[in-house]
Chains A and B, each alone.
Chain A
Amino acid sequence: MISLTFVLNGKITTIETPPDRRVIDLLREDFGLTAAKEGCGTGECGACTILVDGESRLSCLMLAAQLEGRSVTTVEGLEEGTNRVGRIQAAFIRHGAVQCGFCTPGMVLAVSDLLDREPKPDRERIREGISGNLCRCTGYQKIVDAVEAVISETRGKGQNT
């Protein structure tokens, strides 16, 4: 067991955990944060995407010890409408980009990482940005529509983020 200290959704957190516990299990089972989902368990579906120090990462391919001193964001830590990830979620709802919902938390965080790096991606770049997140319901069109809406709203408000 190790004593692990990291920032989880903005709060400094310490927990006793085996160092090789997968981060997805740590989040879901120890913290009860079930937004990150285990789809494939091998890094191919993106359903377990979280942000670590603001970058998208796959929590099924990370071990607890790797989080020491890092800052982790899951969609639970975000209140709707109050920040960009909240705006992404709201746009997903408006554009019907959520069907079964399994991919949605990972998808929202992948979009957040994309818009951090590139504020105004075109449709092709949006598709590339979410290429690590599989959705078996929507056919992606509505997801891309939602991301485009976030970009144009942001531009309308004259904000960079």
Chain B
Amino acid sequence: MNVLLPSTAEDLWRILGDNPDALLCAGGTDLLVKVRAGMIRPVSLVCLERLDDFRGIRDEGDTFSIGACTPHTEIVTSSAIDAFLQVLKKAVHVLGSPPIRNMATLGGNICTASPAGDTLPALYALDAELELWSRSHVRRLPIDQFITGPGKTTLRKGEVLAAVRVRKPAGKFIHHFEKVGQRQAMSISIANLAALVKVDQTDTIENISLAWGSVGPTIVRSREVETALKGTKLSVEGLKQVFPLIDRALSPISDVRASSTYRRRVSANLLLRLAVHEGCRT
């Protein structure tokens, strides 16, 4: 297997032109496991780790542009992310382990498109937009139009995920992320929930976005649940009212980690954690 390491976008396009069947490798923490296991046998691998144009966190005023090749450690230690995108920070904080976070990247987590990818619910809740570059073209599309199923994306041949664009939530939001796994570190999510909630002075929900991970073929975002919660009080009783709607929105599987019944129950209960913010006006 040939291993190529372009350091400029120009290099990258030339290499991809010369090696149309090459596989893109970001941090490699998922891909190289599959290569080693013989699940995929690429002729050449194009490692994106030296492409500075695809790396780093840029504050563009009302939006952050996060380079797809930014390692998770850089996201979790960024003061800008800490100030504006806590929900993403919380998700990255429970992803893998320190060495995994040093190697693995945000773009890698997106393109792997695992239903259990830890950053994905946060990015869905934030309505992240992806910037895809090819030699002569740039296109942007919402993350929920990019990921189409487990391990499946609409990435085209010759195209590279360059950046993740996230608008700063306008006004003060509760940023919530909780993951249920079999242990605290290095675990794959059994279910997780990312939430952005805005409440008024009377604890009435003004705005809410909710995204569940690991309980469907891709991340589950239910507008029905969100609409039902708007205008209600942020309380355990109020949140319980939407349990039947949540149950309808999810389609979890049973696997080695948990049964679908458990996943349904824990996913609904994860929502109740939002009630800890009751009375803490934001």
Contacts and interface: CB of A to CB of B under 8 A. Distances in A.
A66 interface: yes
Query: Which among B2, B99, B102 has the greatest number of chain A C-beta atoms within 10 A?
Result: B99
A62 B33 CA distance: 10
A44 interface: yes
B39 to A, nearest CB: 12
A66 B47 contact: yes
Given A20-B45, A131-B184, A132-B185, A65 B5 contact: yes
B182 interface: no
A56 B98 CA distance: 8
Contact of A65 (B3, B29, B97): B3
Contacts of A44: 186
A20 B185 contact: no
A20 B3 CA distance: 6
A19 interface: yes
A86 interface: no
Interface in B59-109: 73, 77, 96-100, 102-103
B29 A43 contact: yes
B103 A61 contact: yes
| Main SS at interface, chain B | mixed
A62 B28 CA distance: 7
B9 to A, nearest CB: 19
Interface string B5-48: 10000000000000000000000110011001000000001010
A63 B36 contact: no
Contacts of A19: 1-3
A110 B99 contact: yes
Given A66-B49, A132-B97, A56 B102 contact: yes
Interface residues of A, number: 29
Interface in A118-141: 128-129, 131-133
A96 B229 CA distance: 55
Contact of B99 (A65, A68, A132): A132
B15 to A, nearest CB: 13
B45 A46 contact: no
B96 A132 contact: yes
Given A66-B49, A68-B5, A129 B32 contact: no
B186 A57 contact: no
Nearest to B71: A55
A56 B71 CA distance: 13
Contacts of B45: 20, 63
A110 B185 CA distance: 15
A65 B47 contact: yes
Contact of B186 (A41, A62, A129, A132): A132
A117 interface: yes
A131 B183 CA distance: 11
A49 interface: yes
A58 interface: yes
Contact of B97 (A42, A64, A131): A131
B102 A55 contact: yes
Given A19-B3, A128-B185, A42 B33 contact: yes
A79 B184 CA distance: 34
A54 to B, nearest CB: 10
B79 to A, nearest CB: 14
Given A61-B28, A131-B186, A114 B47 contact: no
Interface of B: 1-5, 28-29, 32-33, 36, 45, 47, 49, 73, 77, 96-100, 102-103, 184-186
11 contacts: A22-B36, A41-B36, A56-B99, A61-B33, A61-B103, A63-B47, A113-B99, A128-B98, A128-B185, A131-B98, A131-B185
Q: Which 6 A-B pairs have the closest CB atoms?
A: A132-B97, A131-B185, A65-B3, A19-B3, A20-B1, A56-B99
